[in-house]
Structure 1
Amino acid sequence: MNRRDFLKSSALGASIAASGIVTMPGADAMPRLSPLPGNALNGHARVAGFSAHGRNWTVWDDLRSGDGMMTLVADGKALSLSKRTEPTYATAKPPYLGLKLRDIAQAGADLLAEKLLAHGDDPDEEEVRLAAPPCASDFDPREIGSRLPWTTLIGTVQAGDTMPIFPNGRDRCFRPAHVFPELRGDEIAKKRNEGLLGGWLPAIHKVIPMEDGRWYDLLVFADVEATDPLIVQTWHRTIEVKDGKPLKTSYGHSYSPYPPRRTLPDAQQFYTALLAFVSAWQTALGDMAPVTLPGQDWADMARHAFAKELIVRPGGTYPKYGAVDRDYFGPEYDGFQDIFTSSLYANLEWGRFAQARAVLDNYFSEFVFDNGMVNMRGPETGQYGLTLSLLARYLRYTGDAAILRKYRDRIAATVAVLTDLHDESLNLPKSDRGYGLIHGWSESDACLHPDPTMWWKPYYGNSAFAVRGWRDIAAVWTQIDPMGASAAKDWQARAIRLQARLIESMNANIRRDLTPPYIGPLPGTSDTFREALAGHRETEQGWAHRVYCELLQADVLPDDLANLTVDCLRQHGGTVLGVVANFSPANDTHRDLLGFITYGYAQQLLRLDRIEEYLLFLYAHRHHAHNPGSWVAAEVAGIGGDLPLFCIPAQLTIPLLVRWMLVFEDSDADRLHLGRAIPRDWLGSGKPIAIEGAPTRWGRVDFTLQANPARKSVHAEVHLSKGNVPAETHVRLRLPKEHRLRSATVNGDKARLTGKDRDTVLLRGADGPVFRIAATYT
């Protein structure tokens, strides 16, 4: 499909202009307005007036701080946009919780995680944030090679590229410093605060302070009405502020002036474009399941991740691994399986079914061949299994068998990739360490080495995901192929056989001479992954971090083996700040964490009820695998403030983790978990917690939860889909540790409590589909 045809095929409900170029949905509409409270504008400065959509508008900005609200008012109604920011520089003194970086890097144990969890309670989010300098807070642009020192980016659905934004607010075409010379160079912006307009919109807000108490307030966003197929047009606003008042304001659009033909825009043009921008993005993300959290920035972060995905994917659909830099924007990455699996998973979990379908259709049309191979240089064996599992999830969530029938033969060929490898392994001598296990690359980059057979090995993650993929696709296969019952039966049998062989091999290869016991990423290893990587020599344990993440995510291990694997990573150099590390030899200078693929590790923490560790992962990923404020996610992030490389699978991790803390289903049991990992202080705050229309294989679920600290009571409400409910629904009430549940009722009857802390209300499906829980605590 050529680029123009591809842009026309966007499945986001985008409109087609007369020129044939896609524009963003809702770009010419009005954003949602709310009534204006009587005192909402107290202390705000009037910064502009303009006319648009047949109304007269005034623009008010609370410039008393960089986090003040912007409000656009017309006819007594308002569009209120927050400007919350985060410091982009290190604020902890001393850093690393008082530990030495050398000790953190050298230790087998995750010293930072141990310190953050030492009190035996949920980790403190602020303490986690301060545990290391944030991403991109301390890097030398002269030491990043040919890369540009950009720290965030903007774009639209329709444009085939993105626009990098640099610390001082400039992009590749426009510089606010032309009007405000003080803003020349990025050094002036090292101590800035940064955020997103409206909390989640892809509009960058920067606050750059000056020594005399003045500061600069900068906004930049992409022009959603632009029709360029590649170029990203941009809007800019810069205000010089003193004592809460605007001293000087300048607007810009895309390019520097070339008078008299090209001049700077005025306020009317800028704010009219802002209305279109907000409207377009509200429409583009309108199908996401609504969520209310005590820390609303978490909901904003999840929503922004999907906005960033639409920016990064040309036309909103075509896959790209990264942005701006040749690594990772080059087409050789487009078919990378992780782009597809992370996107399909995250969009499904948040009810974005149209986007999920568009991504699925594009991938199987453009990147899967008739023989099941992918149009990418190095297929990752485990990702074939995850793909099959997610296709089954897509069908269970959406009921849309038509798109899967369209690609039935390619799906069957994907299954055959794994069954062929399984057959090969069964032809090995039973004495071979890889007998009965799936051989193949675990990591795409293996194919780039002089001898890629070094990594054609029986990695445990390959077999685990094959089991999961066969099991899940077999359960729905006759809905895709009505004549496929015998094939599904064979896949189910293979899943049982391979799972048993996997567990047998793992149990036979545990090194119990180490504390805790050590299990390698494949059978027959005599040294740990850190020892194997020492000296940077090539080793079959290269990229073992991926193997462990996929092994755990597949959820085919008994709890004892899963716990052993987690402990092995925690104590033998495999995590940092509770997040799976980018494995490396012990050294004196760095211990990097992985921003992408690690969500499988976190998911297993949740299954094993290791909730404090799950929350540590969540907090650490947010604060140390994202640039602060603008939330650009890192593929790999150091803990020294260096500038990481962005990739979109890392960006989609937080939406998955936030969804699972609220709504999470067992892989095989007829069981649903609600509120399983809600932080104790969230419930203790007394603020509402809710998600509406969360998709599950039993249908959509509404879940609300709120405590009343004054009355020592908790109320929850669960709405399941009528006629299709799980056998069990577990609703956890994670109160602060000093409290204990005293009593609980469900629909007026005494509740059944379960869980190690007796904090979980058990709902039986036959009693539903609506459940009202009332509890008291001491």
Structure 2
Amino acid sequence: MTDRQVTSSTIDFRHAPASSWTLLCRPDDPHKSLVREDGALLYGFHASGFDAWSFARTVGFSAQTTHRPVRVTQETESARRAIVRTVVTYPNQTLEMTTFAHYGPARYDVVLWTVTAAPGEDEVLTGLRIDAQLRGETLASTGSRHEVHAVPLDTAPATPEWTDGLPTTDVVPAGAWRLRSCGHPLVGGSAQGFGPADGLVTRPVVLRGSESVSGAVVVPLADGHLDLDQAYAALQAERRYWDRLDVQRLPLTVPDPDVQDMLTACARNLLQAREVEQDLPVLHVGPTIYRGLWLVDGHFLLEAARYLGLDDTADAGLEVLMRRVKPNGAIVQLDSEPYVKETGIAIATMVRQAEITGDSDGLRGRWPTVRGAVAHIAELREQAAELPADHPLRGLLPEAFGDGGLGGSRAEYTTTMWILTGLRYAVAGARMLGEAADAERFADLFDSLLSAFQRSAKTQRRTTADGLRHLPMNLPGSGEHQFLPRTPDSQVPVWRRIRPETATWALCHAIWPGEIFAADDEVVRDLLDLYEARDDEQGIPATTGWLPYKAVWTYQASFAAHAWLYADRPDKAADYLYAFANHASPTRVWREEQPLTGSGHLQICGDMPHNWASAEFVRLVRHLLVFERGAGLDLLPAAPAHWFRPGAEIRVEGTPTRFGRVGLDVRAGENRLEIRVLRQGPDTVPARLRLPARFSRGGARVDGRPVAAAEELRLELPDGAPVLVEADC
């Protein structure tokens, strides 16, 4: 057993993305305003291609200076608060911005700003500079020096005064976007770089060393008005709101305050992206590219919601899933590609949600959908049986969209991985409901597909250039271009070339939670050897997703960590937790994929904040403490050694598992460790409790009964009766 020391137990965001977007809104707000890493406001996301994005309106802020910033920092006021503080430092002054959403008579975005002259400066002529880029629009005033509104470009508003004026129009168009400066009049100016944007400045002032000037910029997103005093009062109101919001209804407490802050922020991130759809509170993956509840992401988002105690939100997600059922039995959201695996994922979601809630009645109500989905899978198997004899998918499943690094319809294994996982859950669901005939029929389909996969895998196993055995997810005949199957190899650039580790995300899920393979299966060993060779640079596996050149898929670290945990390598799982956290921005949000730190290339991929990442952090922390494996539970399987320092406490309260709700209360002293376990659920469940190294060599007692000292204790957890474990150094 490997001692649970982590390579680095510091969260300092050392691999934060260079480009960052942070969400401002409260839960269920349709206005998903974003703050860029430099404090700019972003509105109206548009994607014209995989990596071609823009916003309809961007509002940038800077000090009135020709100096370039020497440093820009950004963070939220606390893990609980979606209040963003950005500090831009120049050679002779500093601009500080506090940005937040406010809800009063109307909905506002507010930027409180302060410009401070550097100590020792004689005189600094300065103020706030605003650069507004509005697609197809320009800014004008109706005569007010404090408010401007958007008008069509062809309106061509005139500027009455040659100096210190603003373009004006007679009326404000109905529903026009507006911006208001509180405390300081606005003056027309040039945009940064003299580009085709609207440049505004507050009326300049002269500051001496350490003197400052402050004001507010307000963007009303509905009819309303705030003055300067009201803007400052709004900040206090939003602080009270966020501090009172119950983001984590089921306590999950660890003794590392940085990890705890990440948990709190992740719970808030998930709620912020939530929107109301047909009267249901629905978790969305993100506010831009992935604005919706996708079936694969949704499986893990809904599980995380249960872990956080957000049962109403998880219930709503199940209702959304049921809207994706097709007449042929398939359960599909992505209609533009043959995303066959969504059906398997949907089956797994329905059963998993029933497992961790104990809601067998709900599953019974959905059981005709499960039966229809399995029948659809059986039809797909029949189609695959008709493929040509030399086709790599003959006897498996038809060609499909791989995802996670494999685009287009092609021969690949990711679909097989998730269909196997879905069928395994279908068998579990049938047994849960006492549907013996279904369980036997589904198990036969599972066994047939698994046998076909195992025969195929033996012929497809490959060796990398550096001598590592591995099972590629992309199969012969599909070519090496990640988006364009069957492109000649000579035409595939390095930044689009599939790598051995590409799209192994679904293989991770087949390992766990699918438990398709034994922990020591060669498929598992090969994958983890490959990951160990790819995680040296930044602590998590590189080039596993849509960016195959010097990049990381940030939250794929959690998929890999769970595979390590299943394979009894808790040290790697804990390592990946901290390395995963260090790829977030200091506002505790993640981009889906980003370049390796220092590589300097422009490629990025996916939403931000990406809340599958937030869900994965919640899941991984929970599973380091309580992990479901086979017919039993692993308790504290990968809690790092420093979580057991004297005075440390770990608390898990009523976390849902397929064995009922489980509570842990762990208290570490100088010479003694006390662990109280309470399981509430039917029958008696076996558990493995792993003790930290310093408590595994002294005496141990279970409910007062001495047991042999060991790093792993075997427990039996009855329904409703607490179990007390004591261990000495």
In terms of Rg, which structure is larger?
A: 2
CA change 1:208–1:675 in 2 (3 A) is: farther
1:748 to 700, 704, 714: 704
The DSSP-based 3-state class of the residue aligned with 2:680 is coil
- Return 688-697 or 421-430, whichever deviates more: 421-430
CA contact (8 A) 2:684 2:719 kept: no
**For residues 294 and 532 of structure 1, what CA distance do their matches in structure 2 show?**
54
CA change 1:268–1:414 in 2 (3 A) is: same
CA change 1:585–1:401 in 2 (3 A) is: closer
The DSSP-based 3-state class of the residue aligned with 2:582 is helix
2:6 to 119, 122, 125: 122
**For residues 375 and 27 of structure 2, what CA distance do their matches in structure 1 show?**
36
* Aligned residue runs from structure 1 range 694-705, under 5 A: 694-705=655-666
Shift of 1:311: 2.1
**What per-residue deviation string (whole Å, max 9, x for no partner) do you get for residues 495-528 of structure 1?**
2232233334324443479733232226669999
Aligned to 2:149: none
**What per-residue deviation string (whole Å, max 9, x for no partner) do you get for residues 635-690 of structure 1?**
11212356744233233221111111111101xx2211111111112213541122
Shift of 1:339: 3.1
Matched, 1:632 2:632: no
**For residues 201 and 585 of structure 1, what CA distance do their matches in structure 2 show?**
32
Could you tell me which amino acid in structure 1 is paired with residue 358 of structure 2? G
Aligned to 2:323: 365
Shift of 1:776: 1.2
**For residues 366 and 593 of structure 1, what CA distance do their matches in structure 2 show?**
31
The DSSP-based 3-state class of the residue aligned with 1:700 is strand
Gaps of at least 5 residues in structure 2 are 44-56, 120-209
CA change 1:570–1:398 in 2 (3 A) is: closer
Shift of 1:429: 7.5
Aligned to 2:728: 776
Aligned to 1:277: 241
The DSSP-based 3-state class of the residue aligned with 1:742 is coil
**For residues 301 and 505 of structure 1, what CA distance do their matches in structure 2 show?**
42
Shift of 1:253: 6.6
The DSSP-based 3-state class of the residue aligned with 1:577 is coil
CA contact (8 A) 1:154 1:163 kept: yes
Aligned to 2:228: 264
CA contact (8 A) 1:534 1:586 kept: no
2:297 to 330, 339, 357: 339
CA change 1:119–1:773 in 2 (3 A) is: closer
**What per-residue deviation string (whole Å, max 9, x for no partner) do you get for residues 241-282 of structure 1?**
899xx976856473399xx975323477325522552266x2
Gaps of at least 5 residues in structure 1 are 1-117, 137-148
Aligned to 2:643: 682
CA contact (8 A) 1:382 1:463 kept: yes
CA change 1:317–1:461 in 2 (3 A) is: same
The DSSP-based 3-state class of the residue aligned with 1:492 is helix
Matched, 1:601 2:560: yes
The DSSP-based 3-state class of the residue aligned with 2:591 is coil
CA contact (8 A) 1:684 1:735 kept: no
CA change 1:534–1:352 in 2 (3 A) is: farther
**For residues 261 and 619 of structure 1, what CA distance do their matches in structure 2 show?**
44
**For residues 312 and 617 of structure 1, what CA distance do their matches in structure 2 show?**
25
CA contact (8 A) 2:423 2:442 kept: yes
2:445 to 482, 488, 494: 494
* TM score, norm. by length of structure 2: 0.71
2:102 to 223, 226, 233: 223
- Return 352-361 or 234-243, whichever deviates more: 234-243
Q: Number of aligned residue pairs: give it.
A: 603
Aligned to 1:312: 273
CA contact (8 A) 2:114 2:212 kept: yes
* TM score, norm. by length of structure 1: 0.67
CA change 1:575–1:438 in 2 (3 A) is: farther
Aligned to 2:17: 135
CA change 1:122–1:365 in 2 (3 A) is: same
Aligned to 2:63: 182
Shift of 1:162: 0.9
**What per-residue deviation string (whole Å, max 9, x for no partner) do you get for residues 742-770 of structure 1?**
111111102356xxxx3122212359731
> Which is strand-richer, 1 or 2?
2
CA change 1:266–1:296 in 2 (3 A) is: same
CA contact (8 A) 1:302 1:654 kept: yes
Aligned to 1:234: 109
Matched, 1:467 2:426: no
The DSSP-based 3-state class of the residue aligned with 2:648 is coil
* Aligned residue runs from structure 1 range 38-437, under 5 A: 121-126=5-10, 130=14, 133-136=15-18, 151-172=21-42, 182=63, 188=69, 191-209=71-89, 218-224=97-103, 233-238=108-113, 250=214, 252=216, 254-255=218-219, 263-266=227-230, 269-274=233-238, 276-278=240-242, 282-283=245-246, 285-287=247-249, 289-315=250-276, 317-318=281-282, 320-324=284-288, 327-329=289-291, 334=292, 336-365=294-323, 371-376=329-334, 377-426=336-385, 433-437=392-396
- Return 490-499 or 428-437, whichever deviates more: 428-437
CA contact (8 A) 2:331 2:342 kept: no
Could you tell me which amino acid in structure 2 is paired with residue 233 of structure 1? Y
CA contact (8 A) 1:718 1:772 kept: yes
**For residues 724 and 441 of structure 1, what CA distance do their matches in structure 2 show?**
42
Matched, 1:692 2:653: yes
CA contact (8 A) 2:499 2:543 kept: no
**What per-residue deviation string (whole Å, max 9, x for no partner) do you get for residues 162-209 of structure 1?**
11113343425999998xx63779953x63443333323322233455
2:540 to 567, 576, 579: 579
Aligned to 2:174: none
Could you tell me which amino acid in structure 2 is paired with residue 695 of structure 1? P
The DSSP-based 3-state class of the residue aligned with 1:302 is helix
**For residues 4 and 240 of structure 2, what CA distance do their matches in structure 1 show?**
49
Aligned to 1:657: 620
Quote the sequence identity (%): 18
Matched, 1:764 2:721: no
CA contact (8 A) 2:112 2:217 kept: no
CA contact (8 A) 2:273 2:284 kept: yes
CA change 1:375–1:578 in 2 (3 A) is: same
CA change 1:741–1:240 in 2 (3 A) is: farther
CA contact (8 A) 1:707 1:715 kept: yes
The DSSP-based 3-state class of the residue aligned with 2:693 is coil
The DSSP-based 3-state class of the residue aligned with 2:677 is strand
Could you tell me which amino acid in structure 1 is paired with residue 347 of structure 2? L
**For residues 560 and 467 of structure 2, what CA distance do their matches in structure 1 show?**
21
Could you tell me which amino acid in structure 2 is paired with residue 471 of structure 1? R
Shift of 1:563: 3.6
**What per-residue deviation string (whole Å, max 9, x for no partner) do you get for residues 189-235 of structure 1?**
x63443333323322233455667x86654322224566xxxx6224
Shift of 1:441: 2.0
CA contact (8 A) 1:386 1:465 kept: yes
CA change 1:122–1:128 in 2 (3 A) is: farther
CA contact (8 A) 1:529 1:544 kept: no
Could you tell me which amino acid in structure 1 is paired with residue 666 of structure 2? L
CA contact (8 A) 2:468 2:530 kept: no
Q: Output the aligned Cα RMSD.
A: 4.3
Matched, 1:518 2:470: yes
CA contact (8 A) 1:194 1:205 kept: yes
**For residues 702 and 539 of structure 2, what CA distance do their matches in structure 1 show?**
36
CA change 1:293–1:584 in 2 (3 A) is: closer
Aligned to 2:456: 505
**For residues 286 and 346 of structure 2, what CA distance do their matches in structure 1 show?**
21
**What per-residue deviation string (whole Å, max 9, x for no partner) do you get for residues 621-647 of structure 1?**
1112x22x2122111121235674423
